[in-house]
Amino acid sequence: MREDICSIPISEVFEPKDGCPICRMTRILEGHLVDYITGAAMMEPDVRIETNEEGFCPNHYRQMLTRKNRLSVALTLETHLKTMQEAVEFHGKAPTKVQLAWLNKAASSCFVCRKMLWAKERMMKTIFILWQKEPDFRKLYSEQPGFCLEHTEELLRLGQKELHRKLYPQFAAATEEVFRRTLDVVQADVSGYCKMYDYRNAGGDWKNTKNAIERALNLLIGDNGFPLDDSMKG
Ligand SMILES: [Zn+2]
Ligand SMILES: [Zn+2]
């Protein structure tokens, strides 16, 4: 499988400064992998050998069907199902450990999820190397509008492992600052939203609070969040 599918330029992740960059990175990697598996991967027998064993998760099967290349999905399924037919031939005996392990893998693993995890780990390492070495990247990191909860946790946890002990407090402070940039705003706006239900504020100005719930949830659940619509009202 081609390496470049699993790597995206860091500038593509951090330059847009629109929402959580790690969510963006995950979304781009996922898009590349789903495009690949429903496109160029058809020409790569080694990929088919892997997908014959493990298949995909429900979320990625759904995404594959949105790519409008139904033949590629059918070809992938054809050999995956064929391999499955052979794997579940018990010949009247109890399934062997190998057969049960095969079924467990087929039922619980996903080619796209596994490759995403691998690619993301590598990209996270690059982020830490850049942060450690490049003052320009450190600046760009601190200029991000926000990190979601999941990725704030991940950056702080991995940073402790990847960064020099003396640099980690500075990295943690920079990460906290970016996280709080969104956290403090949505906390205040959710609070303002709640106050609008007070009878004393009846007919008052909702200001920026109409979509406070959605913005708070986007911070808490990241990229699977909610579209923002200014017309939303309590
Ligand atoms: Zn995120
Ligand atoms: Zn998956």
Encode pLDDT of 50-62 as tens digits. Answer: 999 999 999 999 9
Residue 232 above 60 pLDDT?
Answer: no
Same domain? 67 vs 110: yes
Query: What pLDDT, on a 0 to 100 scale, did the predictor assign at position 201?
Result: 83
Name the closest ligand to CA 13. 1
Same domain? 97 vs 150: no
Domain annotation covers residue 10: yes
CA distance 142 to 123: 18
Same domain? 155 vs 117: no
Using the mean position of ligand 1's atoms as its centre, give its distance from the Cα of residue 193 in Å.
Answer: 24
Q: What 3-state DSSP class applies to 226? A: coil
Using the mean position of ligand 2's atoms as its centre, give its distance from the Cα of residue 220 in Å.
Answer: 21
Same domain? 154 vs 229: yes
Same domain? 119 vs 192: no
Same domain? 7 vs 110: yes
Residue 91 above 90 pLDDT?
Answer: yes
Same domain? 171 vs 66: no
For residue 72, count other CB atoms closer than 10 A to its CB.
17
Residue 13 above 80 pLDDT?
Answer: yes
Residue 129 above 80 pLDDT?
Answer: yes
CA distance 73 to 65: 7
Domain annotation covers residue 152: yes
Note the pLDDT tens digit of each residue in 135-169.
999 999 999 999 999 999 999 999 999 999 999 99
> b/e per residue, 11-41, with b = 16+ CB within 10 A?
eebbeeeebbbbbbbbebbbebbbbbbbeeb
Query: Mean pLDDT in the chain?
Result: 91
Same domain? 91 vs 18: yes
Using the mean position of ligand 1's atoms as its centre, give its distance from the Cα of residue 18 in Å.
Answer: 11
Name the closest ligand to CA 225. 1
Query: What pLDDT, on a 0 to 100 scale, did the predictor assign at position 193?
Result: 93
Domain annotation covers residue 177: yes
Residue-number span of the structural domain to which 55 is assigned:
3-123
Using the mean position of ligand 2's atoms as its centre, give its distance from the Cα of residue 135 in Å.
Answer: 36
Name the closest ligand to CA 24. 1
Domain annotation covers residue 130: no
Name the closest ligand to CA 120. 1
Same domain? 80 vs 160: no
Using the mean position of ligand 1's atoms as its centre, give its distance from the Cα of residue 148 in Å.
Answer: 4
Domain count, the chain: 2
Using a cut of 0.85, tell me whether the model's pTM lies above it.
yes
Query: What pLDDT, on a 0 to 100 scale, did the predictor assign at position 105?
Result: 93
Note the pLDDT tens digit of each residue in 105-119.
999 999 999 999 999
Query: What pLDDT, on a 0 to 100 scale, did the predictor assign at position 234?
Result: 41
Query: What pLDDT, on a 0 to 100 scale, did the predictor assign at position 229?
Result: 63
Query: What pLDDT, on a 0 to 100 scale, did the predictor assign at position 2?
Result: 65
Between residues 215 and 5, the one the model is more confident about? 215
Residue 42 above 90 pLDDT?
Answer: no
CA–CA distances in Å: residue 19 to residues 54, 112, 222: 33, 24, 9
Using the mean position of ligand 2's atoms as its centre, give its distance from the Cα of residue 198 in Å.
Answer: 45
Domain annotation covers residue 59: yes
Same domain? 12 vs 99: yes
